[in-house]
């Protein structure tokens, strides 16, 4: 039986995507060393070795959606200007921009989430669990589980990839690293939605008509 811990350990050793690790373990009947060989043969294990290399080139990709109602700018870095100019890299960057437009993440990765935000999320999760009647002794475990769900919603690289729900965005990045042979890093993004954050006046037609009638009386 392939356990989640086995998949996690293999991912840490190789840097390959979660589903790639799971599939490799299945193909290797649970043999970790054989699974590593399978990942290496596919070029997927190489992503971990490249992850530490400096990526200072790249592009800023723009994506506009919904007739101009949603806009995204994202900076994605690679190692060389040559790769940054290839159609494949530009297509990859556009996919990431589309992901941001569709899934509205707040951060690139979990390390960017402040302790203040995490404390708020923990307090909310704890209150919810207690209100649901969960026993005190398991509340902490529930809170951490809900915090993981928060990361998967709020952090770009941990979201499900919109074009392949069996992968996370980080899995998709790792696939590209293996394919092009360079480190790739999503550095930052900005997402704009028309009217977001503006308090809109709520109009009540019946009240307006009544007010007009009273004024004219």
Q: What is the pLDDT of residues 198-212, one digit of tens each?
A: 876 665 656 665 666
For the domain made up of 55-111+155-197, give the CATH fold.
Answer: Tetrahydropterin Synthase; Chain A (3.30.479)
Q: What is the pLDDT of residues 158-196, one digit of tens each?
A: 999 999 999 999 999 999 988 888 889 999 999 999 988
Q: What is the pLDDT of residues 103-119, one digit of tens each?
A: 999 999 999 999 999 99
- What pLDDT score does 214 carry? 66
The CATH number fitting domain 114-152, selected from 3.40.50.1400, 1.10.286.20, 1.10.357.10, 3.40.190.100: 1.10.286.20
| Helix (H), strand (E), coil (C) string for the chain | CCCHHHHHHHHHHHCCCHHHHHHHHHHCCCCHHHHHHHHHHCCCCHHHHHCCCCCCEEEEEEEEECCCCEEEEEEEEECCHHHHCCHHHHHHHHHHHHHHHHHCCCECCHHHCCHHHHHHHHHHHHHHHHHCCCCHHHHHHHHHHHHHHHHHHHEHHHCEECCEEEEEHHHHHHHHHHHHCCCCEEEEEEEEECCCCCCCCCCCHHHHHHHHHHHHC
- What pLDDT score does 136 carry? 83
- Cα 135 off chain centre by: 32
The CATH number fitting domain 1-50, selected from 3.40.630.10, 1.10.8.10, 1.10.260.40, 1.20.1250.20: 1.10.8.10
Q: Is 160 helix (H, G, I), strand (E, B) or coil?
A: strand
- Taking alpha carbons only, the member of 50, 54, 62, 58 closest to residue 85 is 58
Domain boundaries, the chain: 1-50, 55-111+155-197, 114-152
């Amino acid at each position: 039986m392939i356990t989640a811990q086995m998949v996690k350990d293999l991912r840490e050793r190789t840097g390959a995507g979660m589903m790639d690790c799971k599939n490799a373990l299945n193909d290797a009947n649970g043999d970790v060393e054989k699974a590593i060989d399978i990942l290496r043969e596919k070029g997927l294990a190489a992503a971990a070795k490249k992850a530490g290399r400096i990526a200072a080139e790249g592009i800023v990709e723009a994506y506009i959606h919904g007739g101009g109602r949603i806009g995204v700018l994202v900076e994605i870095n690679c190692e060389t200007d040559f790769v940054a100019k290839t159609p494949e890299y530009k297509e990859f960057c556009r996919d990431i921009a589309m992901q941001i437009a569709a899934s509205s993440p707040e951060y690139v990765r979990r390390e960017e989430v402040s302790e203040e935000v995490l404390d708020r999320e923990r307090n909310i999760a704890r209150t919810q669990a207690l209100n649901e009647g969960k026993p005190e002794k398991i509340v902490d475990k529930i809170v951490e589980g809900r915090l993981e769900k928060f990361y998967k919603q709020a952090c770009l690289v941990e979201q499900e990839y919109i074009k392949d729900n069996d992968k996370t965005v980080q899995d998709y990045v790792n696939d590209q690293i293996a394919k092009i042979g360079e480190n790739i890093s999503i550095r930052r993004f900005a997402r704009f939605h028309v009217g977001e954050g503006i308090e809109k006046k709520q109009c009540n037609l019946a009240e307006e008509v009544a007010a007009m009638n009273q004024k004219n009386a």
